[in-house]
């Protein structure tokens, strides 16, 4: 492999020199020459503690800079991580030999792996991105990185060398999606190649240095069945919501930050027919729709002179001209709420969106406020009439204090009475306490109210069992 790439991989005159003569045998992959006397054992490496980790990090960053001077960067994009590791191995050996670094064979392999991650991936956090058990990666500054696993935050021992090191990784992320981050634009939303959502804040708004929040993209999207199996919702809720989606009821998924709104929206959208044309609108594309006919749109930040910004409202207006059957908005957070309600009221029934709110009633209040942000001459009564006519269901999700996420309410909007939007709760989750492990205990139940939309979906041949509305027993 090295011979095949040698001429193109290295810059002219930068080919690694042989360790002995022209015909010298190359050292074995796990035994770097010239440093045998200085090789330390794994036990010694562990005893070095934080100082050893700091030295290793500095070595890796310095090695990365050294490699950038040696190799042809344009050729890296055509190589896999294994091919790149094979190519840089002789350069790494030369580097550590010349500087008399004490590395064991295992440490050498780790250094090569870390350097490959630095060049092809996102440096120190690359292993965290590959760990499927991690849901969020939270970089508070270059020396403090937290992760969320199983709903709980954990401090890691991973860190960047300094702010410049972290900024290089940040610029790599945002430039890949055509965005920028600098003093004039210190806040930015972006996404990784796998769809993971990224939010970045740098100085001057980030007082202690650059901050990065990564909401990881699930390689295996949660389905409605898996949400039932994990205890996030009752099977009766699943039956009701699937019927509502297939019956083209317009649904709002409400919840706080990190409560699982997008996860549930993905699961609900998987029940939409492949025969329908779907248009998704997001700030940073992260929805994982599996249908055949999906058109995805993403907002665009303004240019340096503050022009050419494309907000969700402009995308929604354009989507109405694209002959959609349904429009799915990742998150409604501003004046685009008015256009979303218009879409739901003008032949795009079955559209869905998420909104930040702590209760279904709060979700309605937030929608009222966001419609008001559009600056249109509408009375509060008119706004509430639009909401009552457009939305059929509000599904409330909540992240509980033990880290678990549950659907805590399924409520139907039934219309207006005087100037108040009428809403009735169909199913809910009721907490009963905590167990010895401090885990939330409770049960799902039906309130006994049958939703009015059952008559609407019956017209298209859909039905749900009457038993799921029985309030005399917890629903499973």
Summary mean pLDDT of the chain: 83
- In this prediction, residue 43 has a pLDDT band, given cuts at 50, 70 and 90, of very low
Instruction: Tell whether the model's pLDDT for residue 141 goes beyond 50.
Output: yes
pLDDT at 37: 37
CA 8 to chain centre: 37
Higher model confidence: residue 132 or residue 457? 457
* Residue 444, CA distances (Å) to 72, 319, 406, 472 in order: 60, 38, 10, 12
If you write DSSP's letter for every residue of 437-476 in order, what string do you get? T--EEEEEEE-SPPPTHHHHHHTTT----GGGG-TTS---
Q: How far is CA 364 from CA 299, 391, 395, 406, in A?
A: 25, 10, 12, 20
- Say if residues 149 and 134 touch (Cβ distance below 8 Å): yes
Q: Domain coordinates of the chain in residue numbers?
A: 2-120, 126-215, 224-469
- The topology (CATH level 3) of 126-215 is Beta-Lactamase (3.30.450)
- DSSP H helical ranges for 17-80: 42-47, 49-70, 73-76
Instruction: Decide: 113 and 124 in contact? Cβ < 8 Å.
Output: no
Q: Output the CA–CA distances (angstroms, integers) from residue 407 to 221, 223, 230, 264, in the order listed.
A: 17, 14, 12, 9
User: pLDDT: is 226 or 106 the higher one?
Assistant: 226
Residue 342 has pLDDT above 80, yes or no: yes
Q: Name the β-bridge partners of 251.
A: 352, 393
Buried b or exposed e, range 252-286, using 16+ CB within 10 angstroms = bbbbeeebbbbbbbbbbbbebeeeeebbbbbbbbb
Q: Is the pLDDT of residue 381 over 50?
A: yes
Q: Of 49-58, 134-143, 207-216, which gets the smallest average pLDDT?
A: 49-58
Distance CA 289, CA 269 (A): 7
- Are 405 and 398 contacting, i.e. CB atoms less than 8 angstroms apart? yes
Instruction: pLDDT band for 336, please (50, 70, 90 cuts).
Output: very high
Count of CB atoms situated within 10 Å of the CB of 167? 19
Query: 224-469: which CATH number, 3.40.50.720, 3.40.640.10, 3.40.50.300, 3.40.50.1820?
Result: 3.40.50.300
- Residues facing residue 215 across a β-bridge: 136, 197
Residue 400, classed as helix, strand or coil, is coil
Which pLDDT band holds residue 16 (cuts at 50, 70, 90)? Answer: low
Residue 105, Cβ density class (10 Å: 0-12 exposed, 13-18 middle, ≥19 buried): middle
For 458-472, what is each residue's pLDDT tens digit? 999 999 999 999 998
- Using alpha carbons, list the distances in angstroms from residue 56 to 103, 146, 235: 10, 21, 51
Angle at CA of residue 201, ends 198 and 206, nearest 5°: 150
User: For the residues 322-338, what does the mean pLDDT come to?
Assistant: 93
* Residue 234 vs residue 55, higher pLDDT: 234
């Amino acid at each position: 492999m090295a011979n095949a790439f040698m001429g193109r991989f290295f810059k002219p005159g930068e080919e690694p020199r042989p360790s002995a003569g022209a015909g010298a045998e190359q050292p074995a992959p796990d035994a770097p020459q010239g440093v045998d006397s200085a090789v330390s054992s794994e036990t010694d490496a562990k005893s070095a503690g934080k100082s050893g980790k700091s030295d290793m990090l500095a070595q890796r960053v310095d090695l990365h800079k050294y490699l950038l001077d040696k190799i042809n960067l344009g050729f890296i994009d055509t190589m896999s991580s294994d091919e790149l590791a094979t190519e840089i191995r002789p350069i790494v050996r030369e580097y550590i030999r010349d500087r008399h670094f004490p590395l064991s064979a295992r440490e050498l392999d780790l250094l090569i792996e870390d350097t490959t991650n630095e060049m092809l991936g996102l440096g120190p956090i690359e292993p965290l991105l590959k760990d499927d058990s991690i849901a969020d990666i939270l970089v508070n500054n270059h020396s403090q990185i937290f992760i969320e696993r199983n709903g709980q935050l954990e401090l890691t021992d991973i860190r960047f060398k300094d702010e410049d090191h972290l900024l290089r990784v940040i610029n790599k992320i945002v430039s890949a999606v055509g965005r920028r981050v600098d003093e004039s634009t210190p806040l930015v939303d972006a996404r990784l190649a796998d769809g993971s959502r990224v939010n970045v804040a740098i100085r001057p708004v980030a007082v202690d240095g650059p901050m990065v929040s990564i909401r990881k993209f699930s390689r295996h999207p949660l389905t409605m069945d898996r949400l039932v199996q994990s205890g996030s919702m009752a099977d009766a809720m699943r039956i009701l919501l699937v019927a509502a989606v297939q019956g083209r009821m317009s649904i709002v998924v409400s919840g706080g930050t990190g409560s699982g709104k997008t996860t549930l929206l993905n699961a609900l959208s998987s029940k939409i027919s492949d025969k329908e044309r779907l248009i998704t609108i997001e700030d940073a594309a992260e929805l994982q729709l599996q249908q055949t006919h999906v058109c995805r749109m993403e907002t665009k930040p303004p240019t340096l002179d503050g022009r050419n910004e494309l907000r969700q409202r402009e995308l929604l207006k354009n989507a109405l001209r694209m002959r959609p059957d349904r429009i799915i908005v990742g998150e409604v957070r501003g004046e685009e709420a008015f256009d979303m309600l218009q879409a739901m009221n003008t032949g795009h029934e079955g559209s869905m969106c998420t909104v930040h709110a702590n209760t279904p009633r709060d979700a309605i209040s937030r929608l009222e406020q966001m419609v008001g942000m559009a600056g249109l001459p509408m009375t509060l009564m008119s706004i509430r009439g639009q909401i009552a006519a457009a939305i059929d269901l509000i599904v409330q999700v909540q992240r509980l204090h033990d880290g678990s996420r549950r659907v805590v309410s399924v409520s139907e909007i039934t219309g207006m009475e005087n100037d108040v939007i009428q809403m009735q709760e169909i199913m809910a989750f009721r907490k009963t306490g905590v167990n010895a492990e401090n885990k939330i205990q409770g049960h799902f139940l039906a309130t006994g109210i049958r939703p009015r939309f059952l008559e609407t979906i019956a017209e298209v041949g859909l039905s749900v069992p009457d038993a799921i509305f029985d309030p005399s027993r917890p629903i499973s």
